[in-house]
């Protein structure tokens, strides 16, 4: 059919050329925003100048081998100058089912279909008869290498014969459409990219603004302690340090800053200013050589904490005196009550043991309130360590005797030196009572002291149940209890050792242990003979 109506007479070459030039210009000047208007301008131009009744652009929607579904995207009709976009009745046209397989093959090979409708195979006339088209020309549109769809020109005038100039013009027009669609796609992609870049920029700006508007203090401190950034809410912190942005933070805070940076571990500490308390989290950013500080006002929380621990501390102190009396009288009864019969002696012993247990609980309560305040300030005074140990042994002798445990000490003379007698007594009492508690009847508990270099070492050795290897790493953690202790129903709170560790470390010493399950434990701690005490709030 292709050759039927082709004519070599070049009747409107000038007109055709100028139409193509103007169509190209329309697309060149246009933008994404004017895309649709540009399409119709071009269709209208082609229609008017080349005398065409109806022009439409079909876009392929699905393509599977020989199945092609297409639909009219843009349509222009001359007599009413109507411009349609996606006319609803002309969507989802399955060309293969409609008998246009020849068109598919031709288009795929970049060929064109043209001629009088009356000359077309019967199966292909359906589209045009109803529309009264007398001749048509359909040209595929390719976008890059992809067959995008086709453009169809219909003439309703009876004897229209397409000139070769017109056919060339239509082919060129299809090329121009292909190029314009490609440009549109590129522009859309650019637009999308621009939008996403703009979106990212907005997000970055929002994030950047975030700390400034954050009602909680946010600061950035360089590795060497210079304030690099502080939001408005951080003013009280800067005032408490008496610095502004660009200045060095005070030495004590710089030591925390440096420690955090070097260990690459976060640390939280309280800062008090005027009547406010802030919990400040130091968070290192190693790759950038600075530490971020995030603070939160905790004035109320700290007040409630303080009230709780004041209450616990008060009640525990009040309990201690009557408990001491109970222990003292029951001790007296057992030791000197010759007139007591066996039963009565046993009851007195029970009273004594219970008072020991209660004292341990009360001590734990007191210690926990000290821990909760986060403040342990050892009061340094010359004290005799061996004397202190003997007092502790004396307090616990009956307890040991009740379990037929041998409790003795090996304490060569040591000159008095500076430590907090009250706090260290709590540590020794805790270690000895643990040794008795975790040693079965008829065992052995020994306390030894010695001087080693610049320290005094105190050791509490027992022949007890020991600590399973798997539990050893956690033994100084608050509330931690080893499995064997809990399983055997031995009472405890898991607080004594964490308190002991804190006291010993605040006193400038160290605490450690060695233990084998079922074979006993040795808890040791050191105290410096000449302590340099760190009394900083932790």
Residues contributing to the site for ligand ADP (CB under 6 A): 430, 434-435, 438, 462, 464-467, 475, 480-482, 485, 492-498, 521
> Which is nearest to 421 in space by CA: 484, 379, 466?
379
Least gap, CB of 430 to ligand ADP (angstroms): 6
Report the DSSP pairing between strands 511-515 and 444-452.
unpaired
Residue 210 phi, psi (nearest 5): -50, -55
Least gap, CB of 423 to ligand ADP (angstroms): 15
User: Among residues 116 and 501, whose Cβ is nearest to ligand ADP?
Assistant: 501
**Cα 121 off chain centre by:** 69
d(CA 469, CA 38) in angstroms, rounded, equals 82
Least gap, CB of 468 to ligand ADP (angstroms): 9
d(CA 281, CA 524) in angstroms, rounded, equals 34
User: Among residues 457 and 533, whose Cβ is nearest to ligand ADP?
Assistant: 457
Least gap, CB of 435 to ligand ADP (angstroms): 5
Least gap, CB of 479 to ligand ADP (angstroms): 8
Asked whether 315 and 285 are in contact (CB, 8 A), the reply is no
Least gap, CB of 277 to ligand ADP (angstroms): 29
Handedness of CA 188, 194, 196, 199 (dihedral sign): negative
d(CA 344, CA 346) in angstroms, rounded, equals 5
User: Among residues 116 and 370, whose Cβ is nearest to ligand ADP?
Assistant: 370
Asked whether 527 and 385 are in contact (CB, 8 A), the reply is yes
**Cα 100 off chain centre by:** 59
d(CA 89, CA 102) in angstroms, rounded, equals 23
**CA distances (Å), origin 409, targets 70, 403, 414, 416:** 101, 18, 14, 18
Least gap, CB of 518 to ligand ADP (angstroms): 10
User: Among residues 421 and 496, whose Cβ is nearest to ligand ADP?
Assistant: 496
Number of residues that this document lists for the chain: 538
Residue nearest ligand ADP (C-beta atom): 492
**Residue 300 exposure: Cα atoms within 13 Å on the Cβ side:** 1
User: Among residues 138 and 429, whose Cβ is nearest to ligand ADP?
Assistant: 429
Least gap, CB of 481 to ligand ADP (angstroms): 3
User: Among residues 276 and 524, whose Cβ is nearest to ligand ADP?
Assistant: 524
User: Among residues 237 and 503, whose Cβ is nearest to ligand ADP?
Assistant: 503
Nearby residues of 29 by Cβ (< 8 Å), 6 or more positions away: none
d(CA 494, CA 501) in angstroms, rounded, equals 12
User: Among residues 86 and 491, whose Cβ is nearest to ligand ADP?
Assistant: 491
User: Among residues 378 and 496, whose Cβ is nearest to ligand ADP?
Assistant: 496
d(CA 91, CA 97) in angstroms, rounded, equals 14
Least gap, CB of 437 to ligand ADP (angstroms): 6
Return the CA Rg of the chain: 47
Query: Exposure of 175 by Cβ count < 10 A (0-12 exposed, 13-18 middle, 19+ buried)?
Result: middle
User: Among residues 117 and 429, whose Cβ is nearest to ligand ADP?
Assistant: 429
SS3 224: coil
Least gap, CB of 408 to ligand ADP (angstroms): 16
């Amino acid at each position: 059919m292709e050759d039927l109506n082709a004519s070599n007479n070049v009747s409107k070459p000038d007109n055709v050329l100028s139409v193509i030039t103007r169509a190209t210009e329309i697309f060149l000047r246009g933008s994404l925003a004017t895309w649709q208007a540009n399409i119709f301008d071009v269709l209208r131009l082609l229609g008017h100048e080349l005398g065409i009744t109806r022009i439409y652009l079909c876009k392929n929607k699905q393509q599977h081998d020989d199945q092609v579904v297409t639909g009219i995207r843009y349509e222009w009709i001359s007599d009413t100058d109507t411009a349609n976009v996606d006319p609803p009745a002309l969507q989802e046209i399955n060309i293969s089912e409609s008998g246009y397989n020849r068109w598919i093959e031709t288009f795929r090979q970049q060929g064109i279909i043209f001629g009088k409708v009356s000359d077309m195979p019967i199966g292909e006339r359906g589209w045009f008869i109803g529309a009264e088209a007398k001749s048509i020309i359909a040209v595929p549109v390719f976008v890059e290498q992809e067959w995008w769809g086709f453009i169809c020109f219909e003439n309703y005038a009876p004897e229209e014969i397409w000139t070769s100039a017109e056919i060339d013009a239509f082919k060129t027009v299809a090329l121009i459409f292909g190029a314009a669609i490609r440009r549109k796609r590129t522009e859309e992609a650019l637009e999308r990219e621009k939008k996403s870049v703009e979106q990212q920029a907005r997000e970055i700006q929002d994030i950047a603004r975030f700390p400034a508007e954050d009602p909680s203090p946010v600061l950035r401190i360089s590795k060497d302690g210079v304030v690099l950034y502080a939001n408005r809410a951080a003013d009280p912190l800067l005032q408490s340090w008496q610095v502004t942005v660009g200045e060095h933070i005070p030495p004590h805070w710089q030591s925390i800053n440096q420690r955090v940076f070097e260990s690459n571990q976060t640390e939280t500490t309280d800062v008090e200013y005027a009547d406010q308390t802030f919990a400040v989290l130091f968070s290192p950013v190693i790759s950038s050589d600075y530490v971020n500080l995030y603070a939160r006002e905790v004035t109320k929380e700290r007040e409630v904490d303080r009230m709780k621990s004041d209450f616990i501390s008060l009640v525990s102190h009040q309990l201690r005196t009557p408990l001491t009396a109970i222990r003292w009288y029951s001790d007296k009864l057992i030791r000197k009550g010759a007139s007591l019969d066996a039963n009565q002696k046993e009851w007195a012993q029970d009273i004594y043991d219970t008072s020991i247990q209660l004292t341990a609980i009360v001590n734990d309560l007191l210690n926990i309130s000290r821990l909760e305040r986060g403040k342990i300030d050892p009061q340094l005074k010359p004290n005799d360590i061996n004397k202190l140990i003997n007092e502790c042994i004396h307090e616990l002798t009956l307890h040991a005797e009740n379990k037929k445990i041998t409790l003795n000490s090996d304490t060569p003379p040591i000159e008095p030196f500076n430590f907090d007698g009250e706090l260290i007594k709590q540590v020794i009492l805790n270690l000895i009572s643990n040794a008795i508690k975790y040693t079965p009847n008829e065992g052995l508990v020994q306390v030894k002291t010695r001087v080693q270099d610049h320290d005094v070492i105190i050791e509490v050795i027992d022949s007890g149940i020991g600590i399973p290897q798997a539990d050893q790493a956690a033994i100084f953690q608050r509330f931690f209890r080893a499995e064997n202790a809990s399983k055997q129903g031995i009472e405890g709170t898991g607080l004594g050792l964490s308190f002991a560790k804190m006291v010993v470390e605040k006193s400038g010493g160290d605490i450690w242990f060695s233990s084998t399950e079922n074979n006993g434990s040795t808890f040791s701690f050191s105290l410096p003979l000449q302590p340099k005490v760190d009394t900083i709030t932790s």
